[in-house]
């Protein structure tokens, strides 16, 4: 029973019952402890039932009685087969309570006690983390705002909070795949003028957000590029650089087309001007593109640089236009105005002239083209006439010897026909192998194409596999970490092995006991057999003796006496045996009774009876008190 009690007490402790250390067995359980243990178990098994029960025994007798009844009801609802009532809890007997507690412990959810050791879900872990954080923060004393450390300021205030403001940063990259080699000017700028990233911002508070943002933006570009390369770049069968250049060019072409389409509609300016503007614009666009690539997204610095150059350029231009004379400002202005006027008038004149001349030029050009067309037509007509003239001349030459000439011509015609056929045959001879070769080459090309596309597919698959493997590796890494954490958090509990060991011990004990019992049984059987044999022998001996003596008894008086004695002896002996047997049964009965007494005393009947009497008295008292109060009111 000791082992059982120990296991029982441990389970009850796990379910939340506060069992004092000195209590070692169920026998030592007080009524309060029993009620608490049962309520705690019920709460764990079925929270909705347990919620309505208090684990503290109330002082009032009637309330105790009610708790007992509801507990008994709850136990029966759970399917407890044995007899249970309020008396089970209030006037407990050891075996009954043990049976009930065993039943309840069996019913405890298996994982309830192991819950702490089970791998916890993410949300529970989060809840726990939140709970501990709140607990910590509740324990932190409030500190006046002026005396706070930065950490406390963050916890108990918000004046340290700054908004997430990011500014672009310039990274002095050695080389960038998107632009290729770095020009020496930029290198010089990086080496001599670019401040380190931390000094590039006017507000130090922006530094960390800017770094984060920069990293995130770069990551996104990297990923975009990778995606594009895998989906389209690989299919184009170019190296990454070539692909980039191709894409760049294509983009520029597209833009050019777009601008060309848009330009005639937008600008009424003369055509030549548009074309020039366009090329200029495209040139600047190309340069801008280059710069954009170099200095990530046109940072402030490029702007300032740009501005600085412009500002520098403007004054120099002014200096060039101004005459290098040192006159007073007014004079200068006057002269400037006069000059401007003159120049403007001249400009107007020149523009007028230009327009006039352009008009003339246009008309002249028009007539020129007309005349040229006419000339070409005339020339065509001339060559045609010449052709007809030659044919006619020839015919006239041949006319005198018509017959002969006809035959000759016939021969010539035939021979040329022959030659044509010959040539055709020859051509055919050449053509066949060529076609053959062409077909072969084509087949070869096709197979190569097929092979390359297969390779491409393989490469793509490989990429996919690489990515999935990387994902897998990451996932497994995470899992490993989580498992490691769980392993650390697992309680170093050896109770399981201890239990099994103990169970094994118990089993071996039982085996030993069984052996002993069988041994005793066989001993008993042997004894019984011996007894039987002896009785048989005795009977037989007696019968023989009886016969012998009876035979002689008729003749001899002394023998008759002896026979009588024998009979008496036999009777006394059998009586003796009877008595011994009786003693045995009585002894057994006595033992039985003693056992019964033992079990009865273990039920603490006397104690309980006394308790019941006391409780009865208390109940009576309560009732009278209540009655009195009722009467009062």
Which residue ranges make up the site for other proteins (CB under 8 A)?
126-135, 137-138, 140-142, 144-145, 150-151, 154-164, 169, 171-174, 187, 190-192, 194-199, 204, 207-209, 211-212, 214-215, 217-219, 221-222
Q: How far is the CB of 442 from other proteins (least distance, A)?
A: 43
Opening angle at CA 38, ends 34 and 40, nearest 5: 115
Distance CA 107, CA 46 (A): 10
Distance CA 585, CA 82 (A): 33
Q: How far is the CB of 474 from other proteins (least distance, A)?
A: 11
Opening angle at CA 209, ends 208 and 211, nearest 5: 65
If you search the block for the tokens 């007992």, which residue do you land on? 68
Whether the Cβ atoms of residue 505 and residue 3 lie closer than 8 Å to each other: no
- In the bound state with other proteins, the residue whose beta carbon lies nearer, of 53 and 197, is 197
Q: How far is the CB of 52 from other proteins (least distance, A)?
A: 20
Q: How far is the CB of 222 from other proteins (least distance, A)?
A: 5
- In the bound state with other proteins, the residue whose beta carbon lies nearer, of 61 and 169, is 169
Whether the Cβ atoms of residue 91 and residue 25 lie closer than 8 Å to each other: no
- In the bound state with other proteins, the residue whose beta carbon lies nearer, of 188 and 449, is 188
Determine the 3-state secondary structure of 176 from DSSP: strand
Partners of 180 in the beta sheet? 176
Neighbours of 90 (CB within 10 A): 21
Return the H-helix or E-strand segment holding 365: helix 329-398
Whether the Cβ atoms of residue 170 and residue 200 lie closer than 8 Å to each other: yes
Determine the 3-state secondary structure of 80 from DSSP: coil
If you search the block for the tokens 């801008």, which residue do you land on? 288
- In the bound state with other proteins, the residue whose beta carbon lies nearer, of 165 and 578, is 165
Dig out the tokens for 447 from the structure. 């197979």
Q: How far is the CB of 118 from other proteins (least distance, A)?
A: 16
If you search the block for the tokens 């019964």, which residue do you land on? 596
Distance CA 584, CA 606 (A): 32
- In the bound state with other proteins, the residue whose beta carbon lies nearer, of 190 and 281, is 190
- In the bound state with other proteins, the residue whose beta carbon lies nearer, of 215 and 436, is 215
- In the bound state with other proteins, the residue whose beta carbon lies nearer, of 131 and 342, is 131
Nearest CA among 231, 255, 252, 234 for reference residue 243: 234
Distance CA 145, CA 152 (A): 9
- In the bound state with other proteins, the residue whose beta carbon lies nearer, of 338 and 466, is 466
Q: How far is the CB of 210 from other proteins (least distance, A)?
A: 10
Q: How far is the CB of 180 from other proteins (least distance, A)?
A: 16
Q: How far is the CB of 128 from other proteins (least distance, A)?
A: 6
Q: How far is the CB of 467 from other proteins (least distance, A)?
A: 14
- In the bound state with other proteins, the residue whose beta carbon lies nearer, of 139 and 399, is 139
DSSP 484: H
Nearest CA among 533, 538, 534 for reference residue 569: 538
């Amino acid at each position: 029973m000791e082992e059982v009690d120990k296991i029982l007490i441990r389970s009850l402790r796990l379910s939340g019952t506060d069992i004092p250390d000195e209590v070692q067995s169920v026998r030592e359980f007080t009524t309060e402890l029993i009620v608490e243990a049962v309520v705690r178990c019920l709460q764990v098994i079925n929270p909705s039932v347990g919620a309505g029960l208090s684990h503290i025994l109330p002082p009032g007798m009637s309330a105790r009685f009610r708790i007992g009844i509801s507990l008994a009801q709850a136990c029966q609802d759970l399917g407890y087969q044995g007899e249970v009532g309020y008396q089970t809890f209030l006037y407990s007997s050891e075996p009954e309570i043990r049976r009930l507690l065993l039943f309840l412990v069996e019913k405890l959810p298996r994982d309830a006690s192991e819950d702490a050791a089970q791998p916890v879900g993410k949300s529970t872990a989060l809840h726990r983390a939140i709970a501990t954080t709140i607990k910590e923060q509740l324990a932190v004393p409030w500190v006046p705002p002026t005396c706070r450390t930065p950490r406390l300021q963050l916890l108990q205030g918000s004046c340290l909070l700054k908004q997430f403001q990011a500014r672009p940063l310039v990274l002095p990259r050695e080389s960038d795949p998107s632009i290729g080699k770095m020009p020496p000017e930029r290198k010089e700028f990086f080496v001599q003028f670019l401040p380190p990233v931390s000094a590039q911002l006017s507000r130090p508070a922006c530094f960390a957000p800017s770094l984060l943002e920069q990293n995130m933006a770069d990551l996104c570009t990297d990923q975009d590029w990778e995606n594009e390369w895998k989906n389209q770049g690989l299919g184009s069968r170019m190296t990454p650089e070539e692909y980039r250049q191709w894409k760049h060019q294509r983009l520029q072409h597209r833009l050019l087309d777009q601008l060309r389409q848009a330009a005639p509609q937008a600008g009424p300016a003369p055509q030549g001007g548009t074309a020039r503007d366009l090329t200029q614009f495209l040139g600047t666009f190309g340069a801008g593109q280059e710069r954009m690539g170099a200095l990530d997204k046109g940072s402030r610095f490029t702007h300032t640089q740009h501005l600085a150059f412009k500002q520098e350029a403007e004054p120099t231009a002014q200096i060039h236009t101004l005459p290098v004379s040192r006159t007073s400002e007014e004079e200068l202005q006057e002269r400037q105005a006069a000059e401007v006027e003159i120049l403007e008038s001249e400009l107007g004149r020149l523009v007028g002239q230009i327009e006039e001349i352009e008009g003339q030029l246009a008309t002249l050009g028009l007539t020129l083209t007309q005349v040229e067309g006419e000339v070409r037509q005339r020339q065509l007509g001339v060559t045609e006439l010449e052709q007809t003239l030659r044919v006619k001349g020839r015919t006239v030459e041949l006319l005198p010897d018509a017959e002969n000439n006809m035959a000759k011509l016939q021969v010539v015609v035939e021979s040329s026909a022959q030659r044509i056929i010959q040539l055709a045959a020859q051509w055919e001879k050449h053509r066949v192998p060529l076609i053959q070769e062409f077909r072969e080459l084509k087949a070869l090309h096709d197979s190569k194409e097929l092979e390359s596309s297969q390779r491409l597919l393989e490469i793509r698959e490989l990429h996919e596999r690489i990515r999935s493997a990387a994902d897998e590796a990451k996932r497994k890494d995470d899992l490993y970490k989580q498992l490691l954490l769980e392993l650390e958090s697992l309680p170093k509990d050896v109770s399981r092995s201890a239990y099994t060991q103990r169970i094994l011990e118990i089993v071996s004990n039982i085996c030993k006991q069984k052996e002993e019992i069988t041994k005793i049984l066989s001993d008993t059987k042997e004894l019984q057999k011996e007894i039987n044999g002896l009785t048989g022998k005795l009977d037989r001996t007696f019968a023989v003796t009886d016969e012998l003596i009876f035979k002689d008894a008729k003749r001899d008086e002394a023998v008759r006496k002896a026979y009588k004695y024998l009979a008496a002896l036999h009777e006394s002996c059998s009586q003796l045996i009877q008595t011994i047997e009786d003693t045995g049964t009585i002894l057994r009965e006595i033992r039985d009774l003693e056992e019964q007494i033992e079990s009865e005393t273990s039920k603490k009947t006397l104690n309980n009876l006394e308790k019941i009497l006391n409780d009865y008295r208390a109940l009576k008292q309560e009732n009278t008190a209540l009655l009195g109060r009722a009467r009062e009111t």
